[in-house]
Amino acid sequence: MKLKLLLFFSVLAAVSGYTDTRTPAVQTLTEADAKAIIEQQVSEKEQREARRKAELAAVPTIKRRVIQKEGHQITINRVAPPAPKTAPAPISADKGKTRPLTPAEFEALMAAQPEHQSISLSVTAFGGEYSKILWRKPRSAEERSDAPGEFEIWTNVPLKYLTPISSFERDDVVYKYFGFGETISREDELRRSALAKERGFAYESRWQESPVDFTDGTAEYVVKSEEGRIPPELHEQMDALFGHYLENENRFKAAFQKGEALRKAREAYLKESPPEPNDVIINHWPISGGGAR
């Protein structure tokens, strides 16, 4: 992956850019396919519930109580306690024993393990134009309390398809990141502002303009730092995260589109076929005195 470094004046510290190495476009989920998936899911759920009800109804009943509700009923059955499960066979003390590792073998095993790093961030994607990232540095006990712990990063990569929690491996490092994501569009903010003005309320738009003009056709990010003390792990983690995202953006986009298509299909199905109250069967037994009161 090609990397270039540009320096900016004052608070704009450094920008890294990548050539476009994204994966080929992935086929999106059609409305018809989404509808078929939802119908299949509903059918499978109904079958599971029917099998479970049949199992509960087949248990011999000692005492039964039926409660009538609007459109359905609740059946409460007192049944005999189930037979205790057979205890598993004892495991031989010698079974499963392994030879302890020698110090050299242990060191070799640990050396073969990839390095692990955690990334903590939040992302605000401004439409399909650019994004703002708040990156938080893990702080050690030895670090000065006045050292900057949060950094603001701007990028012309709209990270709207970045999943909140994920992990990936890159250059022999396993990165696990946890972050919150939000997408803000110009259209929605204009609509909110117009609606607030129409109703006599003040509304402050959440839209923010990028503090830097990015290079067209090149993915870049810029770190804002008034004191210029940017920890090296920030660039290491952002280079890894952007590389991973750009290479898999189309796959992330397809997953996002699939989720949205299924959500809309589920809403449409429930609107056309609202669920009706189902009869409920509850089997219970006392647990004291070996099942006797």
As a whole number of angstroms, the distance between CA 147 and CA 61 comes to: 69
Helix or strand run (H / E) with residue 124: strand 115-126
Phi, psi (degrees; rounded to nearest 5) at 116: -115, 135
The average pLDDT across 200-219 equals: 90
Domain that holds residue 18: 3-82+114-138+147-291
- Alpha helical stretches, state H, 10-94: 31-57
Average pLDDT, the chain: 82
The number of CA neighbours under 13 Å toward the Cβ of 94 is 0
| Domain membership flag for residue 244 | yes
| pLDDT at residue number 101 | 84
| pLDDT at residue 284 is higher than 90 | yes
| Domain membership flag for residue 245 | yes
| pLDDT at residue number 147 | 53
* pLDDT tens digits for range 163-192: 777 888 888 899 988 778 899 999 999 999
As a whole number of angstroms, the distance between CA 213 and CA 216 comes to: 9
CA angle (214 as vertex; 213, 218 as ends), nearest 5 = 165
pLDDT tier at 140 (50, 70, 90 boundaries)? Answer: low
As a whole number of angstroms, the distance between CA 276 and CA 64 comes to: 24
- Token pair for 83: 């037979």
* pLDDT tens digits for range 244-281: 999 998 998 999 899 999 999 999 999 999 988 889 99
| Domain membership flag for residue 257 | yes
> Domains in the chain: how many in total?
1
Burial class (CB in 10 A: 0-12, 13-18, 19+), 159: buried
| pLDDT at residue 9 is higher than 70 | no
| Domain membership flag for residue 53 | yes
| Domain membership flag for residue 62 | yes
Query: Looking at this protein, which amino acid is placed at residue 209?
Result: E
Percent of the chain with pLDDT over 90: 44
| Domain membership flag for residue 96 | no
- Which residue do the tokens 């009538």 mark? 68
* pLDDT tens digits for range 87-107: 777 776 666 677 888 888 888
Phi, psi (degrees; rounded to nearest 5) at 81: -65, 145
| Domain membership flag for residue 94 | no
Query: Looking at this protein, which amino acid is placed at residue 247?
Result: E
| Domain membership flag for residue 213 | yes
